[in-house]
Amino acid sequence: MFGIGMPELLLILALALIVLGPKKLPELARALGKGMAEFRRATDELKEEFRQLEHDVDESSPTVTAKDDPLLEKPAETIHASTSTESTEKK
């Protein structure tokens, strides 16, 4: 996760045990676990809000119609015919 291996983790735990003592260490670990769980819940809620917002934006975005785009007014045969004559003229 943070590039901490097993030896480093054991050293940190040993130092915490020496500094805090055996009575305070479980309380600190419990508080740290609760804080991390709350942080994870908050980030999950934020991610879900962003997903919902993205979904709402995608649903409300207008679709392009022939009135909006003049290229959509041409029939498909006209577009294909003009491109085929252009390709033969280039040869």
pLDDT tens digits along 53-86 = 988 888 887 666 666 666 666 655 555 555 555 5
Which range of residues forms the domain containing residue 16? Answer: 6-90
DSSP 67: T
Q: What is the 3-state secondary structure (H, E, C) of 11-25?
A: HHHHHHHHHHCCCHH
Q: Is residue 28 part of a domain?
A: yes
pTM of the predicted structure, to 2 decimals: 0.48
Q: Is residue 1 part of a domain?
A: no
Q: Is residue 70 part of a domain?
A: yes
Number of domains forming the structure of the chain? 1
Which of 86 and 8 is assigned the larger pLDDT? 8
CB within 8 A of 16, min separation 6: which ones?
Answer: 25, 28
Q: Is residue 60 part of a domain?
A: yes
